[in-house]
Amino acid sequence: MAEMTPQADTARLSALFRPENLLATMMLGGGIALHAVETYITATLMPSIVRDIGGLALFAWATTIYVIASVVGSIYVAVRPAGVTLNRCYVWGAALFGAGSLICALAPVMEIVLAGRAVQGLGAGLLVTLGYAFIRFVYPEALWSRASTLYAAVWGIATFVGPSIGGIFASGSAWREAFLILVPIALVMAWLAPRRLPSGEDRQAATPAPFVQIALLLASAMLVSFAGSVTAVWLRGTLAAAAVAAVTAMVLAERRASARLLPAGAVNLSSALARIYLIMLLMLVALASDIYIPYFLQELHGVAPLASGYLVALLALGWTAAAFLTAGLTGRRAIASIAAGTLLEAVSTGLLVFLLARHNPQGDIVVLAAATVAIFGMGFGVGMGWAHLVTLVLRLAPDDEKDKASAAIVTMQALGTAFGAALAGVVANSTGLLDPGGIAGNVSAAGWLYGLFALPGLAAFSLAISLLRQRN
């Protein structure tokens, strides 16, 4: 197994765009960009889709089914049959993404949109996982951290680009064109994959599929998604508890199974790899509390909808800025950056208890400026550590399980986002958002939400400190 401390990395980010790396960088980053931009495009378009073809009751499932399908796609990369190369997976991922986009564009009813979103999500899961899996085949090791930094930056850029594109096509039935424009892009990427990407084939035998763990993982994602959408408090709590139970059962099954979903040691906290994955999960759970920031800005601080959307986008800008500023850190300094980032995220989230959870109808600029700094700090904290966490995963995973390790990164992203969003809904809806509602209810819900969601960041900080103390 590789050492935990990242090796010296003196390569510049610009090396990713040298002639020998340029096309691979565009394709791998482009696959992640398709997924990231589409996430924000669809979020912007959903109100228009519902107005045009109905299906309000299925509104939340457009995101839920996409996330669940992306988990399936990410898992396939790790358990694919022997002889199926990574570039062939890329072809399938791009083709499925294009096919799903076409189905959405032609859908006459919401149920068909959901079918298209499932196909899209499957392709997106493949593409994002392959972005990480291909790093070790496309670039020398000195560029692994730089590539991870670039991919993190893609998400920040998508936060601005996605809503802008969605807004252009948000009137009437023009939402269909927003899906259609993705089809030729995906097809070109599918055509280029076997011609411009290495095969990436690194094994001769098929990996047995861990069906029990996959079923439990998908069940947990479904349960937590239902928990975030139901109105009865007792039912929300029951579903959330069932989701936690499913994850616990998955971990127990993973420990005993011969066919594993995750790389060796990933479910044992004595392993550095397990703690790295858990830090990823906890950071994204805490970050998911951002889904309510625009709402509270509008309802409690009198901020206009468009302005609130761009204020929360500062979170992604913070992630991107931190990723670039800390990209050159190596060794213990890189791990210290992870620890500092988790603490910054926790503190910034906690500060919103005082800055966001208050009635400020006149939009006092001092309060809003401070809240803006805290929102930026949440993303900056994640950006300080994410690329280094990805690099550590790729280095720590056994050589014959690096595909599993890459897939698990995407799985942690999906689960962290899904669990965090659903739990945020449970907390907000149970602490005043619905009852009593109004200003008092919103203040109460915001206070509980950001107070509780600072805790995952603190837990991640504790785990990061244990990594910093670990001897190589």
pLDDT in tens, 406-420: 778 877 887 787 778
For the chain, what's the residue count?
472
Angle (deg, nearest 10), helices 402-430 and 233-256: 160
CATH architecture of 8-206: Up-down Bundle (1.20)
Helix H or strand E segment including 109: none
pLDDT computed for residue 436 by the predictor:
85
Distance CA 452, CA 127 (A): 34
Phi-psi region of 206 (alpha: psi -120 to 50; beta: other; left: phi over 0): beta
Indicate the pTM of the whole model.
0.77
Question: Tokens in use for 58?
Answer: 């299925």
pLDDT computed for residue 7 by the predictor:
47
Residue found under tokens 């109460």: 444
Q: In 3-state terms, what secondary structure has residue 404?
A: helix
Residue 141 amino acid letter:
E
- In the chain, what is the greatest distance between 2 CA atoms, to the nearest angstrom? 65
Distance CA 298, CA 305 (A): 6
For the 271-472 domain, the top CATH level (class) is mainly alpha
Kindly tell me the number of DSSP H helices and DSSP E strands found in the chain.
Answer: 18, 0
Distance CA 308, CA 290 (A): 11
Distance CA 237, CA 242 (A): 9
Distance CA 138, CA 119 (A): 27
Distance CA 262, CA 22 (A): 31
Q: How many CB atoms lie within 10 A of CB 311?
A: 19
Residue 311 C-alpha from the chain's centroid: 20
DSSP letter at 436? T
pLDDT computed for residue 243 by the predictor:
87
Q: List all residues 6 or more positions away from 195 whose beta carbon is below 8 Å from its beta carbon.
A: none
- Cα-based angle 336, 340, 343 (whole degrees, multiple of 5): 145
User: pLDDT under 50 in the chain at which residues?
Assistant: 1-2, 6-10, 471-472
pLDDT computed for residue 156 by the predictor:
67
pLDDT computed for residue 305 by the predictor:
61
Do 397 and 405 meet the contact criterion of CB atoms below 8 Å apart?
yes
pLDDT computed for residue 123 by the predictor:
95
